[in-house]
A and B are shown apart, each in its own frame.
Chain A
Amino acid sequence: MKAAILLPVLARHDAVGNDALAMAQILRERGIDTRIFCDVAVGVDAPVHAPAQLPGFAGGPDDLVIYHFSVGWPVALDLLRKVRGQRAVRYHNITPAAFFSEHGPEYARACARGRAEIARVVALDCERYLGDSRFNLDELIEHGAPASRGVVFAPFHRVEQLCAAPADLALLDELDDDAFTVLMVGRIAPNKGHLALIDAFAAHVDAHGDPARLLIVGKSDPSLAGYAAKIRERITRHRLGDRVWWLESINEARLKAAYLGSDAFLTLSEHEGFCVPVIEAMALGVPVIARASSALPETVGEGGLCWDSEDPHVYAASLARLRDDAQLRHLLRSAARRSYAREFAPEVLRGRFLTALGLAT
């Protein structure tokens, strides 16, 4: 038996890339000859192969192909039609195009293409559908995928490495003051709800007082410069000024320091297929407050406060309650750590992955 991991772009420290690399590693540890096939590899030491070589390597009836589906990529459809073995589609979700229509027309077109491909992927009648979350799997099922072939398990992640990494002491020192620090981690994209986040933080400052600080950690994209400008404009309009710290392209040590120095993790993202930063916060003991959209309620579970509301004052009041209620903080931290250990620990994911593919012993 041979196994192929197929994805368009393999990037280091990217959620999809981490998931693909971990799967390849686990399959190799099981003694299965495994290769990664992709068009582009960025910052990855692991050897990769051109997608066109996939049928020659793992096209036989005993072989396994896992396709990481996160953008439109017609090449994958052709390859999945050619192979004769077990085909598994790992669906990471594709952001609806509407989010990008104002600030990123290119992204909007790419997302539209990708979402149009969902039905075509389902039409391939693959043997397994692996959802990052129930939310993701349900989308495939809505498009016609048989529910009996669906399995849900969280993406493999680098949370353990983040927990083990040293924190940036300089940033940690800087955050160690009496300000109530709210953290948001995620790339600067319209679906991530940064504008609502700033509204909620401003409501918190207005209603519950200073000192408070909002850390926005996320890589900006020149293609979405308009969205970034809009965020800055919103910060200015709310007169938040230096209360908002925007940390772009930070390394692992500074990311860990940001988590350790924060009092709450707040995300008002409108569309998430899973949201790895939430489990990073849970593992590092930062209480989570989130909007109950897409996969977020499922990821947060009992380890945080989820609100099905767009009212910024609800989130502002949640932050204030978290700031003032030590018992609530303790309860949420404890529940988050239990939830992480039960649902998202690497060994748990490994077992679910192997079971889903029928490789568990």
Chain B
Amino acid sequence: MEPSDDYLQRVKAEILAEAAAAQERAPLPRRDPPPRGNTTSALDACGIERNRLDYHIAELTGEQYVAFVEQAYRAILKRPGDEAGRNNQINHLARGASKAEILGNMRWSAEGRQVGVRIRGLLPRYLLAKLTRIPVVGHVIDWFATLAGLPVLLRHQRSADAVAAARFGELTAAMRAIGQRLDQLDVELATAGNAVAQLEQRVFGSAQLQQQPMDARLGVVETRLADHIRSVDELRHFFYAGNHWLTTVQRNFADLERISDEQRRRIELLVAGVNESPEAISARSDRHARWSAELGARLNPGARVLDLGSGDGSWLAALAARGIEASGIESSTPLAQAAAARSLAVAAGDPLAALERCSDGSLDAITLSAAGLCGGATALLRLFDATARALARPGWLFVRIEAEPRRPDSDIAADGARWQALLAAAGLDEVSLIESGEGSLVIARCMAAVARTSPSSQ
């Protein structure tokens, strides 16, 4: 809420009117002021009664030494004593100055006069103290004052003796009482010591009682733990034994595979080393010569020919004799090496895989040995697919079906009529069969795409 100027002006005008009216009124009767509690005592934060300006000398001489000086500062100068001033007053006391002289010095100092504290009974004592400071005269006055005060001193002495005797009696009684109390305390202490010892014993016994079942339980747990550890050790032993057995089996299988490969290599070498009869070799050369003539009659010069299952290269040699350059693929490494030894272009490898890599329609003719294929119906499907992709249009496929004693593992049909039917079913054109003694040659022309043949048609 904003204090609007109008509002404040109105309030101020009313206040002024009230002030003027109040001056005309009679004062109200006074009531008792609010009671003041203990918290706002006459003492300020420094513990000084600033408002009190009236003391009796007896109030200020009760304390001794430092406490006396500090009290004098607070009462007379209304402030705590500063270090230098306090030391100065204490030195005065140490040199034999009377308390009245110290109090008077402070009261009638410049600062003390400004504060103006009234100390009843101080002035005559202070004057007397000051008179005794006058050389010679002061000494005489001091003597006279002392002599005059002797009866008082004697009374004080007798009174002090009486008080001291009374106090001594009281002290003796108090000491006796304290001694008795100490004896009682010793007894109580001894009793308490016994109680503590009993307590310790009970605590110790209780701890022992509780410890026994705990020990028994701990023994059972330890036994079970040992059993478990033993079981784990046995399990680990079985695991290691099983692992060792598996490793041994793996090693044995590896040995068997190695032996099998060795056997196969030795068989191939053995097969490659089989000697054919001169008549068989001659008949095959004649047969190849005739068949190569069939091929040569169908191909243009420089045609590209690929032979699959070239064997030792005798067919390629027959083609070369006709002037037909051809390359061969032979799956049997020893036979391929034998063909290479005759300077024929025969590479070792899978014939069908090689044919599939030539799937660019650039071959004018493919010749293959039926005995050089293996793999059953799957091999035939791969053959027809690859042939259709590899042959140019038109292109020729020559299948040689003849016995090959160096190929013991062929599983493809060795029947010319069957091959003729298969090629016709695969969609090749002009499929013809040429019988020649021990072998037969199936010739087919590829004019268009070759249809896939179901393996079941084999």
Contacts and interface: CB of A to CB of B under 8 A. Distances in A.
Q: Do A and B come from one complex?
A: yes
A320 B16 CA distance: 12
B91 to A, nearest CB: 24
Interface string A139-174: 000000000000000000000000000001011011
Interface in B2-19: 2-3, 7-8, 11-12, 14-16, 18-19
A222 interface: yes
A305 B44 contact: no
A313 B23 CA distance: 7
Contacts of B22: 203, 207-208, 313, 316-317
Interface in A306-346: 311, 313-314, 316-318, 320-321, 325, 328, 330-332, 334-335
Interface SS of chain B? loop
B25 A207 contact: yes
Contacts of B12: 305
B280 interface: no
Interface residues of A, number: 53
Contact of B15 (A209, A250, A321, A334): A321
B277 interface: no
Contact of B19 (A174, A179, A311): A311
A179 B44 CA distance: 23
A317 B34 contact: no
A302 interface: yes
Contacts of A240: 33
A73 interface: no
B3 A317 contact: no
A331 B1 CA distance: 7
Contacts of A331: 1-3, 7-8
Contact of B3 (A254, A302, A311): A302
A251 B25 contact: no
Nearest to A245: B40
A109 interface: no
Interface in B39-71: 39-40, 44-46, 50-51
B445 interface: no
A206 B115 contact: no
A56 to B, nearest CB: 33
Nearest to A172: B39
A241 interface: yes
Interface SS of chain A? helix
Nearest to A177: B34
A210 B44 contact: no
Contacts of A248: 44-45, 50
A210 B25 contact: no
Contacts of B114: 222-223, 225
B34 A220 contact: no
B79 interface: yes
Contacts of A101: none
B27 A314 contact: no
A170 B39 contact: yes
Nearest to B16: A314
A251 B45 contact: yes
B77 interface: yes
A334 B40 contact: no
Given A208-B28, A210-B31, A222-B79, A173 B39 contact: yes
A317 B1 CA distance: 24
Interface string B213-232: 00000000000000000000
A316 B15 CA distance: 9
A256 interface: no
A170 to B, nearest CB: 4
B255 to A, nearest CB: 84
B234 interface: no
B30 interface: yes
B116 interface: yes
Given A171-B39, A311-B19, A321-B11, A220 B30 contact: no
B37 interface: yes
Contact of B33 (A210, A247, A316): A210
A332 B28 contact: no
A209 B28 CA distance: 6
Given A209-B28, A223-B114, A179 B34 contact: yes
Given A179-B34, A225-B115, A251-B45, A220 B50 contact: yes
A213 interface: yes
B116 A334 contact: no
**Which of B2, B30, B36, B40 has its CB near the most chain A CB atoms (within 10 A)?**
B40
B107 interface: no
Contact of B28 (A206, A250, A302, A318): A206
B111 interface: yes
Contacts of B274: none
Nearest to A215: B40
**Which of B3, B8, B30, B79 has its CB near the most chain A CB atoms (within 10 A)?**
B3
A211 interface: yes
Interface in A201-238: 203, 205-211, 213, 220, 222-223, 225, 229, 232
B1 A318 contact: no
**Which of A177, A241, A250, A331 has its CB near the most chain B CB atoms (within 10 A)?**
A331
B16 to A, nearest CB: 6
A131 B23 CA distance: 40
Given A317-B15, A317-B16, A332 B3 contact: yes
B209 interface: no
Given A225-B116, A239-B30, A248-B50, A328 B11 contact: yes
26 contacts: A170-B37, A174-B36, A174-B37, A174-B39, A174-B40, A207-B22, A211-B33, A222-B79, A222-B114, A225-B114, A239-B30, A242-B33, A245-B36, A246-B50, A247-B40, A247-B44, A302-B3, A305-B8, A311-B19, A317-B15, A317-B22, A331-B2, A332-B3, A334-B3, A335-B2, A335-B3
Given A232-B51, A313-B22, 19 more contacts: A168-B39, A205-B30, A210-B33, A211-B33, A220-B50, A222-B111, A241-B33, A242-B34, A247-B44, A249-B44, A249-B46, A311-B19, A313-B23, A317-B15, A317-B16, A317-B18, A321-B18, A331-B1, A332-B3
Interface of A: 168, 170-171, 173-174, 177-179, 203, 205-211, 213, 220, 222-223, 225, 229, 232, 239-243, 245-251, 254, 302, 305, 311, 313-314, 316-318, 320-321, 325, 328, 330-332, 334-335
- Give me the 9 closest cross-chain CB pairs, A-B, nearest first: A206-B27, A207-B22, A170-B39, A317-B19, A313-B19, A179-B34, A317-B18, A210-B31, A331-B3
